[in-house]
Amino acid sequence: MTIVYRFDLWTAKNPLRRETDTIVIHHAAARYQAGQAVESIYKYHKTKWPAYNAAGYHIIIQRNTDQRLGIYVVNNPFVIGAGVLNHNHHTFHICLADDFTTTVPSDDWIEATAHAVRYAQTLFPNATIVGHRELGTTTCPSLRWFEWKPALLARVMSPVVAAPKGYTTDHPIIASPAVPYAFEILYYALTSRADVRMVWLHTDLIQWLQLYREIGTEAQVDWYMAACHALIETSYLTSVWARSFNFAHIGLTVSSNEQHDYIYNSQTQRWERALTFRSMRDGVIAHIGRLVAYARTDAACTPVQLTYVDQALSHRPLPTSMRGTTTTWGRLGYQWLGRSDQTAEVYGKQLIEFANRIAGIAL
């Protein structure tokens, strides 16, 4: 069973929660045509609460046209929802899109709900699981909730959600992400900062994360680490170069008197010259492709990796002697900074520490 992200429905106008200590289970108290519940609930809630402008839940589980249950993230997991009056500031909401007023959900509904709860627990590991009726005067999620709540909790505990694995300096650049739900972790890290919100629109940040996940996955690069590398290089995407889609400060040089093809950086109070890119996608490829070039030679690359390397190095070449010389994140500073002293070693350690801190991992 998989989680499906419906980013087109992340339109809520509420701010983000400061804490989340409760996961609330709801039911829709209605029946829907297969595959139509998510859209129907979204449209109904937007009409009901126009100032909120979204589905009130964070997850909706619906019966799809193939008769299997689908789990849909229909709201930013960290936004204040609209599920329980006077309790939305600290709660995460999961809705079963069916009517269970007088019935007990079948086993596939219990399993899907447990899967959704385990997802929420990865983000909010200390949250308590309750039914809507435990927080308000309602029959939701069922008159028989206390009959099937134990079965749900038992399913949630089996299997037990593994703790996220922390990064170390020898973590390879060519690898799958080790942090569960990296997209949400990074999204929260960005949108919780006022300086980022002043520079980037919500839709821009979603696109940026999608591109790092898409291109990084195709290139077999740990895209979570690549994104963290970009955040360090660009001060959470707020640098003047990030606004020109150079997300890793590739080719950055400094001059005090030349202005031709330079950008004046008000943060450093200098004229600087580096690469600029036509689109966000080009900028992400330049970063991901360059990382692959450091980690692998042409002969070791897959066809997809080679395509991204060629695109990246068309902007700024990389000597053959440097290809395949940096396979771990901890040693990235030696090539990225072009140094072989303690500064390069510290660079790698700081990158690892940053990635672990953002993911909430204490080593």
Domain ranges of the chain: 3-156, 182-358
Quick one: fold of 3-156?
A: Lysozyme-like (3.40.80)
Residue with the two structure tokens 């950086």: 265
Do you find a cis peptide bond into 141, omega within 30 degrees of 0? yes
Q: What is the pLDDT of residues 114-165, one digit of tens each?
A: 999 999 998 898 999 999 999 989 999 999 999 999 999 999 987 655 555 6
Q: How many angstroms separate the Cα of 360 from the Cα of each of 123, 156, 163, 180, 268?
A: 10, 22, 11, 11, 31
* Cβ atoms of residues 218 and 236 within 8 Å: no
Q: What is the pLDDT of residues 6-29, one digit of tens each?
A: 989 999 999 999 899 999 999 999
DSSP code of 12? Answer: -
pLDDT at position 258 over 80: no
Q: Phi and psi dihedrals of 270, rounded to 5?
A: -140, 155
Q: What share of the chain is helix, strand, coil (3-state, %, to 5)?
A: 45, 10, 45
| 145 half-sphere exposure, CB direction, 13 A CA radius | 19
Element (H, E) at 25: strand 22-27
Instruction: Give the pLDDT score at 191.
Output: 87
Which two tokens mark 177?
């992400």
- Give the whole-number percent of the chain exceeding pLDDT 90: 71
pTM of structure: 0.77
Comparing 36-45, 63-72, 299-308, 335-344, the range with the smallest average pLDDT is 335-344
Instruction: Give the pLDDT score at 259.
Output: 40
| Average pLDDT rounded to a whole number, residues 63-85 | 95
| Average pLDDT rounded to a whole number, residues 269-281 | 81
